[in-house]
């Protein structure tokens, strides 16, 4: 696979940049990328023209319109439309151009709000989704089913990986649109800088989340690129594979760890009048573990690397 032409869609984002760097570190050199200004992935004709010219052997879909709870719930039409367009255009163009392999990245939000824990791949489409990010989740489910359907009808080597909560360098630290982990890093850092006596965290602090450092996901994608094919997944009567880390922590535990990494000496206060959201979203990682992949980065180690990157780039988020 190292001598094949690989297209990384979304290479400037947190996940795509990590995948690009990891592939290069392993000796991959025939990698093609396009920025958003050079190729609008929501435009089918543009995507088709690009694929007809480049004819990539493998495609890794990291591109997506992403955001936190507020953005997901506010721009519902934008989230479902743009993510449906991106996925359908890339998957269809990959099929038409005869790509040998396609790996599609999704999200754990595809699972029903009231899923049994740990969440297995078979849980997909067994219940109602979380309302706030339902449009995004539906687009991601459609992408999973596109890959599965092109495999079933045409034998295309296309499949999907669903990571848990990701974090790392190049994450979004904008307080209005970011996820919980980067938002907490910024809040604690700014509290330290201003000398604030306390940092307020929404909810009880009890909900649990599983966090995956982005470089571990990049390694998982490379491992799958080299070792796992669509038949390995669909033959198990599942439509995708989970990718988690076993690094599960409560929101309060996460905040305390961030406080330690940042060096903030103030207090953490909890506003229990604010909603907690889903209590637990731990995924079952048995399938990918049985296939040979295990995440290695501890939560504290990953937080240190993420905070170091934020310190170097914080002016971008002012």
For residues 204 and 302, give the distance between their C-alpha atoms in angstroms, rounded to a whole number. Answer: 24
Residue 10, beta-bridge partner list: none
Tokens of residue 313, six digits: 């780039």
CA 305, chain centre distance (Å): 18
Decide: 69 and 135 in contact? Cβ < 8 Å: no
- Whether the Cβ atoms of residue 90 and residue 46 lie closer than 8 Å to each other: no
Residue 284 token pair: 């079952």
Please identify which residue in the block is written with the tokens 């002016």.
315
The CA distance from 118 to 280, in Å, is 9
Torsions phi, psi of 251, nearest 5?
-60, -40
CA distance 129 to 109: 8
Could you tell me if 75 and 135 are in contact, meaning their C-beta atoms sit under 8 angstroms apart? no
Query: Which are the catalytic amino acids?
Result: 136
């Amino acid at each position: 696979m190292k001598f094949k032409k690989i297209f990384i869609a979304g290479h400037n984002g947190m996940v795509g940049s990590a995948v690009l760097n990891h592939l290069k570190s392993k000796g991959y050199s025939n990698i093609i990328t396009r920025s958003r200004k050079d190729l609008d992935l929501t435009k089918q004709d543009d995507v088709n023209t690009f694929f007809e010219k480049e004819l990539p052997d493998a495609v890794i879909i990291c591109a997506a319109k992403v955001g936190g709870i507020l953005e997901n719930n506010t721009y519902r039409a934008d989230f479902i439309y743009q993510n449906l367009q991106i996925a359908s255009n890339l998957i269809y163009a990959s099929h038409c151009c005869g790509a040998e392999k396609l790996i599609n990245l999704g999200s754990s939000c595809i699972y029903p709000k009231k899923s049994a824990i740990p969440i297995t791949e078979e849980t997909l489409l067994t219940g109602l989704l979380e309302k706030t990010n339902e449009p995004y989740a539906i687009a991601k489910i459609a992408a999973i089913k596109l890959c599965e359907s092109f495999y079933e009808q045409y034998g295309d080597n296309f499949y999907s990986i669903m990571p848990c909560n990701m974090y790392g360098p190049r994450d979004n630290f904008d307080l209005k649109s970011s996820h919980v982990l980067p938002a907490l890093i910024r809040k604690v850092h700014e509290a330290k800088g201003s000398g604030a006596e306390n940092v307020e965290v929404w909810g009880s602090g009890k909900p649990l989340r599983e966090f995956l450092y982005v470089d571990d996901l990049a390694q998982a994608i490379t491992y799958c690129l080299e070792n796992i094919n669509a038949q390995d997944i669909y033959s198990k009567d599942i439509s995708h594979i989970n990718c988690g880390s076993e690094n599960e922590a409560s929101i309060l535990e996460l905040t305390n760890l961030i406080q330690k990494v940042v060096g903030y000496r103030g207090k953490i206060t909890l506003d229990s009048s604010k909603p907690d959201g889903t209590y637990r979203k731990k995924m079952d990682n048995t399938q990918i573990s049985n296939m040979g992949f295990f995440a290695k980065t501890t939560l504290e180690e990953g937080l240190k690397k993420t905070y170091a990157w934020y310190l170097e780039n914080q002016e971008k988020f002012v």
